[in-house]
Amino acid sequence: MSTGSKVDLVDRRGLVLSDPQGRELWSTGSISDLAYGYMNDTGNFVIVGNNSHNIWESFDHPADTMLPTQVMARGGVINSKMGKTNFSGGRYQLRLLPDGNLVLNTRDVVTGTPDAAYYVSGTYDAANSTNSGFQLLFEATGYIFVVRASGERIYFTRKDSLPSGDYYHRATLDFDGIFTQYYYPKNTTEPKSWKVIYFEPVGNICTIKYSKACGLNNICSLDGNRPNCECPQGFSLVDPNIPNGDCKPYFTPSCDESKSSHGEDVFDFIELTNIDWPGSNFVSLGPSNEQTCRTSCLEDCFCAVAIHKDIVCGKKQLPLYNGYKDPSNNVKAFIKFRKIDGEDKSGRNLIYVGSALLGTFVLGVVVLTGVIYAGFFQIYKKGVNPFSCSATVETNLPRFTYQELVTATDGFKDELGMGAFGIVYKGVIGTNIVAVKKLETTVVQDGQKEFKAEVNTIARTHHKNLVQVLGYCDDGEQRLLIYEYMTNGTLAGFLFGGTRPSWKQRSYIAIGVAKGLTYLHEDCSNQIIHCDIQPQNILLDKYYNAKIADFGLAKLLKINQSKTNTGIRGTKGYVAPEWFRNTAVTTKVDVYSFGVLLLEIISCRKSVVFNDDAEDAAVLTDMAWDCYQEGRLDAFVENDSEALNDLEKLTTFIMVGLWCVQENPLVRPTMKRVIQMLEGGIEVTEPPCPCPLANHEKGHPDA
């Protein structure tokens, strides 16, 4: 909904929502003889007629939420929204069926037709159907229950779970399909955030039958009790605004292209672990080992994915259903992709359509299908050392010639900015705008390790808060990387460009960066230390989602390795103290850099301000500590009224920033814990002064 939209109460039209151009977006429907409307203390918007009777109530037309005193009769329904910021009708429903059973089910978004229920309350009385549930009631005291005809109450809110005190309550069918009851303190002494009292279903929604927690070809993993959906490598979201929606493949197997070639000449596999789409096999083979499973899928033109578990091989066609990731699941998934096209008799390279790109081009970046370029796919081999200095890059990202990128960038004419070891230019490949990073010739030899690290590292990563690499060039001394183009540039330009961004936007960006770092530190097969977290290396897409860029300085740690020794890396003002002590560094160097970045996001100030003589004049971490200790948060945010009106969150964010920039790396929290603190999931304790002496006097936030 655009700024300038408005709601009017219009006789014979009812309540009408219109955009700035006057176009109707929503209305209650035709209502005649209305007198006025008002919002009562329970949150119910009521339209009153000329006869002083209520003629329309919002409680009778719920969207995704119920409030205390609200009642749902048999046949009642609420629909989830589509996504966190997409308020159109979503895929999930809460219904009190005509037989009295309260259920959760998915639905067809186009037709509204309900599917099978993935949660059934059991409020239907099979022994006496006349005594089944007839009302779902959200009591004013905060309890939710179904009332049977006999007056019996079947409670969903446990009687010992409601907090004592004065709270707001709501029950929402969230966009991920979980029906959750929340509470929020009315007084000012408690943290201002919604807390969970109760939710259904209580099991692993990723594996509950009929839940469809993630869309077609998508993969579900559990984050607390919430499903987290991510497209597998080789797929991207159909709608980048709906992360739990359907994923489309970059490549679909075709029997026509396989007729004249052996499968291994044309195709290979992206290998994933602990991922399965159960129940969608069109053929099951057993006994089978991994190699025979791969070979069978290669030779089968209908096979898009092969799953090997124990001694059974399951061959699957697209689309894939009910995908989920489970670390305890001893499963390997082999996703087929087109490998290489040979040469015709005239010596010209055959063209290929599509790319075996790893990861997804999230939130508005169109997949590079339809792009026709000559080139070869190198096969990504398990166990390749990303810091080896061989002349070629071993990855299955598409490879471009230097001349092709000269053409794509119009001779490297449009400079976007500086990246690690080189300049980034705007380019066009096919119909898609891209960012091309060209390594400086003077550092090509010394920077080859960094180049190989960046290509191999990002090719293995897949997260909505990481910039996707679309291809590379390794042509003689020319080495370049092709990235998705980020419409809103760098976080540095966003924060320090003149106009102060909104506090809500800044908070959202901070949490996005934290989630991207958590993925690098904890969820990659090889742990990744970024080593250069700073505003210039955080990019913003057209929806202002933060994405971490520049993995050229990344240090990859092998499994079970927790620290590494290396030369000083990073940018002045963001470098953790341990870099200067020639000691082993860990992921905590990124935590330190994130702490500095977080304080910049909060204050819209640069971490270090220089005098004319180039000596450090002001250090943001020192200022943050002084303002926090002296209770002058208004000075730190320069009287930002929006941030000061959200004082609880502002205080939390500053405290988290101070924990992150502690001089002792053992005292800093992990990035996973940082997210929990920023989102209000755990309490943030008082941080000590981020200086050596104070670190011995107080504990740390994990204590």
Q: Which token pair is 280?
A: 């969608």
CA angle 572, 577, 578 (to 5 degrees): 125
- Judge whether 399 and 391 are in contact, CB under 8 Å: no
Do the strands 219-223 and 323-325 form a parallel or antiparallel pair, or are they unpaired?
parallel
Count how many residues are written for the chain.
703
The backbone torsions φ and ψ at residue 405, rounded to the nearest 5 degrees and listed phi first, read -80, -30
DSSP state of 521: I
Catalytic pick among 64, 532, 550, 640: 532
Nearest one of 78, 117, 80 to 99, comparing CA atoms: 117
Asked if the bond preceding 319 is cis, omega within 30° of 0, the reply is yes
The backbone torsions φ and ψ at residue 224, rounded to the nearest 5 degrees and listed phi first, read 70, -120
**CA-CA distance, 205 to 366, in Å (whole number)?**
30
3-class SS at 105? strand
Q: Is 505 exposed, middle or buried (0-12, 13-18, 19+ CB in 10 A)?
A: middle
| Euclidean distance between the first and the last CA atom of the chain, given in angstroms as a whole number | 44
Centre a 10 Å sphere on the Cβ of residue 112 and count the other Cβ atoms it contains: 11
- Judge whether 527 and 557 are in contact, CB under 8 Å: yes
Centre a 10 Å sphere on the Cβ of residue 626 and count the other Cβ atoms it contains: 13
Angle between helices 503-518 and 647-660 (to 10 degrees): 40
**CA-CA distance, 103 to 81, in Å (whole number)?**
17
**DSSP code string of 528-544:** EE----SGGGEEE-TT-
Angle between helices 620-629 and 588-603 (to 10 degrees): 70
Give the H or E element holding residue 674.
helix 671-678
Give every strand in the sheet of 195-200, ordered side by side. 65-66, 167-173, 179-185, 195-200
SS3 sequence of 429-460: ECCEEEEEEEECHHHCCCCHHHHHHHHHHHHC
- Judge whether 146 and 133 are in contact, CB under 8 Å: yes
Over its C-alpha atoms, the chain yields an Rg (Å, rounded) of 28
Centre a 10 Å sphere on the Cβ of residue 162 and count the other Cβ atoms it contains: 17
Do the strands 546-548 and 538-540 form a parallel or antiparallel pair, or are they unpaired?
antiparallel
Q: Which token pair is 234?
A: 């080789």
User: Which residue in the block uniquely carries the two structure tokens 């100030």?
Assistant: 605
Q: Which token pair is 634?
A: 């208004």
3-class SS at 416? strand
Centre a 10 Å sphere on the Cβ of residue 426 and count the other Cβ atoms it contains: 17
Q: 434 - beta bridge partners? A: 427, 484
Largest CA distance in the chain: 87
8 in catalytic set? no
**DSSP code string of 68-90:** TT-EEETT-EEEEESSSS--SEE
Q: What residues act catalytically?
A: 532
